[in-house]
Structure 1
Amino acid sequence: MTAVVEVRGVQPTPREGRAAFKAWPAVRRWANLPMLFFVVVMLATAGLSLQVPSDRMAWIFALQLIALYGFIGLSALAHGKVMAMSRAVPISRRPVDWRIDNQAVTVSSADFDSRVGWRSVVAVVEEKDRLIFAASPNTNFILPLRVLDAHQITTVRAIVADVRARGVLGAGVD
């Protein structure tokens, strides 16, 4: 199969550039582990506080709620700051050109050129508004579906199906 999809001047919106959690389910589980630990500790403390006189139990419960919402709020704030900084760097503000064929995914602009062979692409995940080409947890190439016509989308799906069928997709990843 010799198919090529080329798209020029692609610039994902902030919504399209959101974190690629679906491409990395194991990372998402680890990322949620601190929150799970925090909730378990809160439940254990609440269970133990049933032994404590009722006037102190209300204070313990209130402090736990403040800590929980503080943890969630600070985590959301930190994530928002990281995403804002990611969008502010020059490389993310410039349009890029894409080339997808049965050998590799190539993303380039005037300032960089990145070619990733299918053996190094761990997964290709299609969401309702974008395609994620996952190479590593911190390197995900995101192609908005809005820049592709129906024929190009079909061709990209065929290329991905072909590299999966040949056992090439992610074959170089241990």
Structure 2
Amino acid sequence: MIEIKGVQPTVREMRPLTRGWGGLHWWACLPILAPFLGLWSLALFAVADPRATSALGTIAAAIVILTSVVWIVTRWLHARLTVRAARSAPGGGMLSDWVLDEQGVEFRTGVSSARVSWAGIKAVREERDRFLFLLSPASNPVLPKRLLTEAQLAAIRQLVENVTASGHLGPGVD
């Protein structure tokens, strides 16, 4: 059994997941990216048109630069607002305690607890600064590595390897 107390991911650790659920991430981004792609296409056509004036080329370049800046700023703002909203929920600002064992993962706060068996977890992804537990496309609990000792890191890796090899990890195992 591996116990980790006081888990609360940072904004950076809560960044969106880009791998693990196939193309779903990109399809979910399409409504946000479509207007930018449209503006970029318009700008590229304006620049590529041999009849375009230099002013039109400047306007097209400005469109590309401004849409890029808007996209970067809104991604940054969205991440911060999402974390702030989550922390304003009754249990959102509370630290959680995690327990990982051969049966699954348990999450506890002062107001709630949940236990998920390994069969309910599609995969566990290890990234540079976090472990992601893929429960559903809308729920991927984050365990920051900064909270783990070297012994805990090794134990989690071994546990995930064991449940993967034994076939206990959920049906979508990669």
Regarding TM over 0.5, the answer is yes
Q: Report the number of matched residues.
A: 170
Q: How does 1:4-153 map to 2 (within 5 A)?
A: 4-33=1-30, 34-35=32-33, 38-39=36-37, 42-43=40-41, 46-47=44-45, 50=49, 52-54=51-53, 57-58=56-57, 61=60, 64-65=63-64, 68-69=67-68, 71-72=70-71, 73-153=73-153
Corresponding residue SS for 1:105 = strand
Separation in 1, partners of 2:141, 2:130: 10
Q: Among the aligned pairs, what percent are the same residue?
A: 31
CA-based RMSD:
3.0
State which drifts further: 139-148 or 96-105: 139-148
Structure 2: 5+ residue stretches without partners: none
- TM-score, normalised relative to structure 1: 0.77
Separation in 2, partners of 1:25, 1:80: 25
| Bigger helix share | 1
Residues 168/31 of structure 1: CA separation in 2 closer, same or farther (3 Å cut): same
Residues 71/25 of structure 1: CA separation in 2 closer, same or farther (3 Å cut): farther
Separation in 1, partners of 2:166, 2:114: 23
State which drifts further: 4-13 or 47-56: 47-56
C-alpha contact (below 8 Å) 1:23/1:132 kept by paired residues: no
| Bigger strand share | 1
Structure 1: 5+ residue stretches without partners: none
The amino acid of 2:110's aligned partner reads: A
- TM-score, normalised relative to structure 2: 0.77
Q: Higher relative CO (CA 8 A, sep ≥ 6), structure 1 or 2?
A: 1
Report how far residue 99 of structure 1 moved: 0.8
C-alpha contact (below 8 Å) 1:14/1:87 kept by paired residues: no
Separation in 2, partners of 1:128, 1:160: 16
Corresponding residue SS for 1:82 = helix
Separation in 2, partners of 1:74, 1:96: 29
State which drifts further: 43-52 or 94-103: 43-52
The amino acid of 2:10's aligned partner reads: T
Residues 9/165 of structure 1: CA separation in 2 closer, same or farther (3 Å cut): same
Deviations 1:111-132 (A, max 9, x none): 1111111111112111222211
